[in-house]
Amino acid sequence: MMLGGAGMLLAASPAQAADTSYRTECIPPAISGLPPVEGTTVVQLTAPAEAKVGDTVEVVWKTVEAASKNPDVLDLDKDTVKPTGTIKVGGAATGTLQMEGPRQNPPIPKNSAMVLPDMKGTLKLEKAGEITLTPDAYNINVSKPISTDTKCSPKETVKTGATIKVTAGGGSTTGGTTSGATAGGTTSGSTGGSTTAGGTTSGSTTSGSTTAGGTTSGSGGGQTDFPGKEVAVHFTCTSPGPADISSKVTINAKKSGGSYALTVKTAKGVMDSPAALPAGALKPSMDIVIKGADKGSVKVTGPANAEPLEQGKPVDLSDMTGTYKPGASGKSTLSPGTLTIDVTLGASKINIPCKVKGSVTPSLELDTTAQQGGASGSTTSGSTGTTGSSAGGTDSGGGLAATGAGGTGTLRALGLVAGTAILLGGAVFTFTPWRRLRGTR
């Protein structure tokens, strides 16, 4: 038995249709902030009751009831929903039949039943006998505001949905299995994180100059460049962010008058993109912690991603820049602090702070002279808009950087309520934490 993409479709006897109900778990895109949900899926399979060997028959999957409603957060636009699914083939033949529906749906308001278009697949019959068709897993893709997938799978043994009695004909009686795929029968959107390249942190932050140990003598010899050392940092993030991010971070400084232009570099592939995101959607920033003679912090930022990001693919954070104006004289250390990930789509924002876990070795030590209005004991926004050109965008790939948004309360609320769902678009059944967006470097 083969999946047929061509040839005449036959219905040698009246088609049969029956409802099949089964308990289902749906897992939405990995960037959402709520857990999976279980519900009941009701499917009606339509297929010929009888056919002959050599016939190519059409099977139709009608979703009578989806496992969950559209959440009470986001209205889904007309013609944005596309389902794909799998039917298990048993009896005289074994294998799977890939099903696909058009991107066709009426507008689906918040907190209303999901309306999915019918899925179809074609099956070429190559062996006489009784063939059973059983609905299995299915996927819901929503194209706006970004392309996302919700994956649904049975949580119990599913009853047969249709049976085809195949009688001997002029065709071959050999075979007995289905092929694995039809054109477009599956969708992308796998977010399992297995696509990350485990060893991509090699040398991606700074060049060999970072071995200088990060200690400088800012008062002598007219020195202007102060390279920091590469230090390992482990971040833990607030929901709906990734559980953790690990990266190497380097803080470099260039003296200009009494102030220092900072450039902060992270490892390549520090995390996976949570979804397919357009250019300019994802931006990081970081608080640089100052200790020693001077105290406080400076926020460094950079440009947004210049190119769209693919779901599940490693993301490089571009260089983040800012200005440090010392508030005290003496030796002060600079260390990586909270990393903030901002995802913005239109008016909707998700703000995810990732705090340093454990102790961190300082990346840079400077011998400073106090400047009026310096950082001592305060938090300053180091990104003034004039320093960003000095280093932003030197890493290719993701080209990500920061917004400098410091107020996490309001934006996080947006992320957990409205922003999360707007981002998801396709989290049409429920939401799940951003567990798979993780750093492995």
Taking CA atoms, 207 is separated from 267, 318, 399, in Å, by 12, 15, 19
| Residue located via tokens 């089964």 | 22
Instruction: Name the class of domain 2-167.
Output: mainly beta
> Looking at the whole model, is its pTM more than 0.95?
no
Which stretches of the chain score pLDDT less than 70? Answer: 1-16, 30-34, 73, 169-221, 240-241, 376-441
- Residue from 249, 386, 266, 363 nearest 314 by CA: 266
Start-to-end CA span in the chain (Å): 46
DSSP 313: S
Structure confidence at residue 34 (pLDDT): 61
- Residue from 164, 178, 179, 232 nearest 17 by CA: 164
Q: Is the peptide bond before 240 cis (omega within 30 degrees of 0)?
A: yes
Domains of the chain, residue spans: 2-167, 208-424
- In 3-state terms, what secondary structure has residue 211? helix
Structure confidence at residue 378 (pLDDT): 58
Structure confidence at residue 23 (pLDDT): 95
Q: Could you give the CA distance from residue 24 to residue 66 in angstroms, rounded to a whole number?
A: 9
